Amino acid sequence: MATTDRQATTLALAHALSAAERGLAVLPLSRTKLPALRSPHRDDPAPAGARCHGACGRFGHGVYDASTDPVRIRELFAAAPWATGYGIACGLPPYRLIGVDLDTKTGTDSSAALRELALRHLFTIPETVVVLTPSGGRHLWLTGPPDTVVPNSAGRLAPGIDIRGAGGYLVGPGSRTDHGLYTAAPGTAHLTPAPCPPALLRLLLPPPRTAHPGPAPAGDHGRGLVHFVLTAHEGQRNTRLFWAACRAYENGIGPALLAPLIEAALGTGLTEHEARATIASAARMTGHRP
């Protein structure tokens, strides 16, 4: 093995042990970001091995190998001397980690998409651990409540935003891959992962299947949205207008409320250009033509 690979393995093990001291369960990863140890059931003729999550006692069960025990972690890395990185299992106590993966490879601005979601649903991303990826993306570390299971998803929240939840893992800072090094963003390495905002958490959970009765009339609901905009204070005007416009389009009354919302926005001090631009952004976010 090349000296550089040995050094990368040694550094990955050191970072993995440090993460485990903080209560994060880890497993060795190869340069491809995949678990370094192959499944012991890969040659089994029956599918039973696919349902084995480590009960057989052997290594090679992906994220189910993850551990906070330093002895086991050293054994995992000893069994995979080619590992140059480590993964951090999500969804496990004490943090029940949720990873928000802001990708750059899709050609979309995932950071802007997250900001629009925050405006639309009235939440802010707290100060938390941020890991910078070799491709220019970011992983935001958040924590979930003990009674909630957040599933993995890809692009469901918005294009370019993937979620790592129960059964998934994040590439840990200090890992070296074929594309480069994962590093903690300056000033965030020693932070404790922050709780996921409740409004964002609701977006991460699969919505219950319910029958929708159809578009709501533009009556009381429409007047309530207009009033919501009219009562905005300085610093809230764009946010409230964006939120109200999103709700209007989602309920099928966006076109009918266009003029009343613009008039209400003008009453709060926004210009007509600002109001129309904000409403057009809400229409695009909800999948409608402005």
> In which order are the strands placed within the sheet that holds 169-171?
26-29, 85-89, 169-171
**Does residue 290 sit within a domain?**
no
User: What residue type is 224 in one-letter code?
Assistant: G
What are the CA-CA distances from residue 190 to residues 10, 18, 187, 193 (Å)?
Answer: 21, 11, 7, 9
- Are 159 and 126 in a shared domain? yes
- Backbone angles phi and psi of 85, in degrees to 5: -155, -175
What is the model's pLDDT at position 277? 86
Band of residue 4 on the pLDDT scale cut at 50, 70, 90: low
What are the CA-CA distances from residue 227 to residues 65, 97, 156, 247, 268 (Å)?
Answer: 54, 39, 32, 13, 11
Band of residue 209 on the pLDDT scale cut at 50, 70, 90: very low
d(Cα 32, Cα 39) in Å, to the nearest integer? 16
**Does residue 108 sit within a domain?**
yes
Query: What is the per-residue pLDDT across 19-58, written as a single tens digit (0 to 9) for each?
Result: 999 999 999 999 999 999 988 887 766 554 455 667 787 8
What is the model's pLDDT at position 50? 52
Residue of higher predicted confidence among 83 and 286: 83
| End-to-end C-alpha distance for the chain, whole angstroms | 58
- Are 200 and 133 in a shared domain? yes
Query: What is the per-residue pLDDT across 215-260, written as a single tens digit (0 to 9) for each?
Result: 444 456 688 888 888 887 766 788 788 888 888 888 888 888 999 9
What is the model's pLDDT at position 290? 60
**Does residue 72 sit within a domain?**
yes
Window from 136-140, 173-177, 184-188, 268-272 with minimum mean pLDDT:
268-272
Give me the CATH number covering residue 121: 3.30.2250
What is the model's pLDDT at position 285? 75
> Which residue, of 51, 70, 86, is where some domain finishes?
86
**Does residue 251 sit within a domain?**
yes
Mean pLDDT on 153-177: 92
- Are 180 and 103 in a shared domain? yes
**Does residue 51 sit within a domain?**
yes
Share of the chain above pLDDT 70, in %: 88
Query: What is the per-residue pLDDT across 271-282, written as a single tens digit (0 to 9) for each?
Result: 888 889 889 888
Contact indicator for 232, 241 with CB cutoff of 8 Å: yes
Q: Which residues span the domain enclosing 36?
A: 1-86
What is the model's pLDDT at position 212? 41
- Are 105 and 157 in a shared domain? yes
> Which residue, of 26, 61, 86, is where some domain finishes?
86
d(Cα 115, Cα 96) in Å, to the nearest integer? 24
Residue with tokens 């007509």: 272
- Are 44 and 57 in a shared domain? yes
Query: What is the per-residue pLDDT across 88-131, written as a single tens digit (0 to 9) for each?
Result: 999 999 999 999 999 887 677 899 999 999 999 999 999 999 99
What value does the mean pLDDT of the chain take?
A: 86
- Are 166 and 125 in a shared domain? yes
**Does residue 216 sit within a domain?**
no
